Amino acid sequence: MALQDLTPQLRTRLSRVERIVGVFVILAAMLMMAGFIYYLYATAQRKGWFVTKVTYHTFVDSAAGFLVGNPVRLMGFTAGEITKILPEPPETYYRNVYIEFVVREPYFGYLWTDSRVRVASADFLGNRFLEVTKGGASGKRVQATYRYNASGELEMWVDPDPENNIAGNVFQRISELKSGTNEFKGYWLIADESPPLTDRLQTMVTNFSQALPAVFALTNSINNTLSNSSRTLVRLEQILENLQPAVTNAVVITDHLTNPHGSLGQWLIPTQIHARIETALVSADSTVRTAETNLQALSFNINRSLDSIAGITRNLRQQVEANSLLLTELSQLLIDADDFVQGLKRNWLLKSAFAPATNAPIESLLEPAAGRP
């Protein structure tokens, strides 16, 4: 139906709808453009399009797990990305793969001449990433890899051997280095590369496969040990069954020994012997008592005898002290008695009564010594 065939009211309403749809389309286009601009801005921020980027390079043994555009990390942050991955010529004696990457500002300010590149595994699929280390921690005399001069131009520390500080090395402007005849590759950072995770897993699998025979031998030994242990347990069970009667008897004996009425004594000493021993002990006790009484009486009599002897010796001492000539008279009496006996020995009538002794006289066993009696 043509627009002229519509009534004025319908044409007015249709014009309003067309204006609303046009405004909606314009707003949608503006929102889409704003989203696209924000996406470009975010991508530029993430990729570092609006910041200064400096170039570094390193060498690794294998390019496995690396792709152009992979991020380069510093202290856990994404500081740059890989820009080139190229193989080295066949005659190269150093590493096999050349990797060039860029680091954004301000992260390259953390990289000094003692910084290194650490090659680490990203996941279990064989992917790897580069991580640059912060410089200045080695304790050596170091320099910044890149810096701004007084004119605001970017300069790089020129050092053909990053592991040694060669006297005379200076900073050179990036513009001068890029205008030279040689290709500008940026500052060289030495890489600490560990084998890829897949290679390490393969090594582990190889070692495990080589160790499997020993594991099987060990399991066989364990199986034999378990079999011997089971047979030993069967033998021990039989021994325990044989020891069961002895254990029962031991239990009975211990129960009998726990009897508080002296069951062990009844085993060692029967009842008849016990009665006889008790009678003998009673008799021995009475005998000991009688002996004790007799010993007391004997000691009393001995004390009286000793008192009497003491009295006699006391009287004798008093007599001797009272009569000083008593010992002289006794000595003379003994001499006269000896003369009388000697005279009797010479008398012919009584000479036979004094027969000579049959035994030899006692002689001294000690030999006389000179100068001594």
Q: Percent of the chain beyond pLDDT 70?
A: 77
Instruction: Quote the number of domains for the chain.
Output: 3
pLDDT for res 268: 62
Torsion of CA 112, 55, 133, 114, to 10 degrees: -30
Co-location of 245 and 297 in the same domain: no
Inside any domain, residue 32: no
Asked if 106 and 180 touch (Cβ cutoff 8 Å), the reply is no
- Contact partners, residue 337, CB within 8 Å, separation at least 6: none
Please spell the DSSP secondary structure of 202-262, one letter per residue. HHHHHHHHHHHHHHHHHHHHHHHHHHHHHHHHHHHHHHHHHHHHHHHHHHHHHHHHT-TTT
Inside any domain, residue 266: no
pLDDT for res 56: 94
Inside any domain, residue 366: no
Inside any domain, residue 41: no
* Token code pair at residue 157: 């520390």
What letter does residue 354 receive in the DSSP assignment? Answer: G
User: Residue 317 and residue 80: Cα distance in Å, rounded?
Assistant: 138
Complete edge-to-edge strand list for the sheet that includes strand 171-173: 146-148, 154-157, 171-173
More confident residue, 187 or 318: 187
pLDDT for res 196: 64
Co-location of 299 and 226 in the same domain: no
Lowest mean pLDDT among 56-60, 156-160, 172-176: 156-160
Co-location of 57 and 125 in the same domain: yes
Using the predicted structure, report yes or no on whether residue 50 has a pLDDT greater than 90: no
Inside any domain, residue 23: no
Co-location of 102 and 225 in the same domain: no
Co-location of 194 and 237 in the same domain: no
User: Residue 227 and residue 229: Cα distance in Å, rounded?
Assistant: 5
Co-location of 315 and 241 in the same domain: no
The domain containing residue 321 runs over which residues? 273-344
More confident residue, 252 or 127: 127
pLDDT for res 57: 93
Inside any domain, residue 365: no
Inside any domain, residue 241: yes
Q: How many CB atoms lie within 10 A of CB 305?
A: 10
Last residue of a domain, one of 199, 227, 245: 199
Co-location of 309 and 333 in the same domain: yes
Report, as an integer, the average pLDDT of 137-148.
Answer: 82
Co-location of 183 and 231 in the same domain: no
Inside any domain, residue 46: no
Co-location of 248 and 125 in the same domain: no
Co-location of 229 and 177 in the same domain: no
Lowest mean pLDDT among 30-44, 246-260, 328-342: 246-260
Co-location of 77 and 141 in the same domain: yes
Co-location of 182 and 59 in the same domain: yes
pLDDT for res 113: 87
